[in-house]
Amino acid sequence: MESAPATTTSSSTQHGGGGGGHVFLLAFPEAHGHVNPILQLGRHLAAHHGFLPTLVTTRHVLFTLPPPPAPFRVAAISDGFDSGGMAACGDAREYTRRLAEVGSETLGVLLRSEADAGRPPRVLVYDPHLPWAGRVARGAGVPAAAFFSQPCAVDVIYGEVWAGRVGLPVVDGGALRGLLSVELGPEDVPSFVKAPESYPPFLEAVLGQFDGLEDADDVLVNSFQELEQNEADYLASAWRFKTIGPTVPSFYLDDDRLQPNKTYGFNISDSTSPCLAWLDNQPPCSVVYASYGTVADLDPTQLDELGNGFCNSGKPFLWVVRSCDEHKLSEELRDKCKERGLIVSWCPQLEVLSHKATGCFLTHCGWNSTTEAIVTGVPLLAMPQWTDQPTTAKYIESAWGNGVRVRRDKEGMVRKEEVERCIREVLESERKADYRKNANRWMKKAKEAMKKGGSSYNNIAEFASKLLIGQMMTNQVG
């Protein structure tokens, strides 16, 4: 084990400090799906309420990635593995334990040093997968706000299990009836609570988000009231949740006050891609865009079924296959895909989704990808694999009506015939207009939620006002 070094602070640009004071943002390290939304919250607080946001992450992350642009400062804590990060540990449970131990110590040092330097943070917005962060903040006299990066529906499920009101395993939605907008079947339940014996460290992590949550000063969630009305209302009453999403770059929310904010700001991939020029040559609403996230591991057989399904649909398709998976594609399939498709290892997803040629999006139903599709009004082909993805897929098909569920066979495989069926259902069937209409309806509601006077905008404004009042009271006492 490496020893915990002293905490350091740096800045990507020179700032004298925002009028509203400093806001610290701490996401789970190396989990870019958690970092990106919390960055957008920080950007909103800076632009609309005068706060100066500071991204807090591990030394390893800051050593390996460029810092986010202005208005962000960056500050480092340690996870005990400064040279190699999570990969240097190799065990999820041990990494979490070490991160809590060393992270608590170095976060405390950071908060004290910032206060001594005349920059006391007004709040620590922390990822609830790091419940110790809230305790450290409160111990340092800093308000703490938990930031949930998964949908309200899933938060309801995890919260009820944590509170002991729903027992494990959760085999269906029977025990949750009345709390959710849809009835969950066995195939719709988050995998960690459906089969708790299969993923012990992950089960601990998702349920542990509620550890000490009653002591948090605020609880924020990356969703919007209109999308998950019943679930958001229940979470507000049970856990004091406030919807503050969708936290995507403001360019896609038609918010010109933050232009040209078209990216999340914490770049992890090459910004160049041939796909946009290729899309320019395709007919409007014709392209099947397929991306399965950065974590899922698909075997060669599944990739072959997907590729042949795309080809057999007769539609042009843009298929993201990670570079580490490219060797799984046969030469025969590669040649076949060249007729109508383009295979890339990465693409700027929001730019692709907002392109006029994109007709639908085959997705693993990760929450960031789902909200990006909602904001850009793109119908979905929901192909979940694990964790909270099956629940999101159920809502896509049954609650929001902006897509279809891609079904697996008895062997757990998605066959080419099913891929083709779903593509034709969304792009050719009598219901294609309904999918597009519903997608556009939710796009409009998402943008309205984040505009001045919208539900999420107002919740963020209330949160910011609370911080400003706290600052004024501190100044008066001082």
3-class secondary structure per residue, 265-320: CCCCCCCCCCHHHHHHCCCCCCEEEEECCCCCCCCHHHHHHHHHHHHHHCCCEEEE
Q: What DSSP state is assigned to residue 167?
A: P
Least confidently predicted of 12-26, 27-41, 183-197, 449-463: 12-26
Record the tokens describing residue 337, joined without a space: 């895909």
pLDDT at 3: 45
Are 130 and 136 spatial neighbours (Cβ–Cβ below 8 Å)?
no
Side chain identity at residue 68, one-letter code: P
**Alpha carbons 236 and 16: distance in angstroms, whole number:** 36
DSSP tally for the chain: helices H, then strands E:
18, 14
Structure confidence at residue 65 as a pLDDT band (50, 70, 90): confident
- Best CA proximity match to 18, nearest among 39, 55, 46, 42: 46
**Alpha carbons 422 and 404: distance in angstroms, whole number:** 7
**Alpha carbons 133 and 147: distance in angstroms, whole number:** 12
Structure confidence at residue 330 as a pLDDT band (50, 70, 90): very high
- Could you tell me the CATH superfamily of domain 275-445? Glycogen Phosphorylase B; (3.40.50.2000)
**Considering Cα of 309, then 310, then 311, then 313, what sign does the dihedral take?**
positive
pLDDT at 278: 97
Which residue's entry shows tokens 């609370």? 466
Strand order in the sheet with 121-126: 9-11, 73-77, 51-58, 21-26, 121-126, 144-148, 218-221, 241-243
3-state secondary structure of 51: strand
pLDDT at 260: 56
**Alpha carbons 321 and 330: distance in angstroms, whole number:** 13
Sequential DSSP letters for 53-96: EEEEEEHHHHHHSPPP-TT-EEEEE--S-TTTTHHHH--HHHHH
- The residue that leads in pLDDT, 5 or 307, is 307
**Residue 207, H or E segment:** helix 200-207
pLDDT at 13: 41
Are 220 and 154 spatial neighbours (Cβ–Cβ below 8 Å)?
no
Structure confidence at residue 6 as a pLDDT band (50, 70, 90): very low
Record the tokens describing residue 128, joined without a space: 């609830």
- Best CA proximity match to 71, nearest among 88, 91, 48: 48
For residue range 66-123, what is the model confidence (pLDDT) as tens digits?
878 888 999 999 999 998 888 888 888 899 999 999 999 999 999 999 999 998 999 9
Cis geometry, peptide bond prior to residue 67 (ω within 30 degrees of 0): no
**Residue 387, H or E segment:** none
3-state secondary structure of 325: helix
Mean pLDDT of all residues in 255-272? 61
pTM of the model: 0.93
pLDDT at 475: 58
Please state which architecture CATH assigns to domain 9-265+452-477. Answer: 3-Layer(aba) Sandwich (3.40)
Alpha-carbon Rg for the chain in angstroms? 22
Does residue 409 surpass a pLDDT of 90?
A: yes
Q: What is the mean pLDDT of the chain?
A: 91
**Considering Cα of 150, then 154, then 156, then 160, what sign does the dihedral take?**
negative
Mean pLDDT of all residues in 454-465? 97
- Backbone region of residue 164 per phi and psi (left: phi > 0; alpha: psi in -120 to 50; beta: other values): left
Domain with CATH 3.40.50.2000 in the chain: 9-265+452-477, 275-445
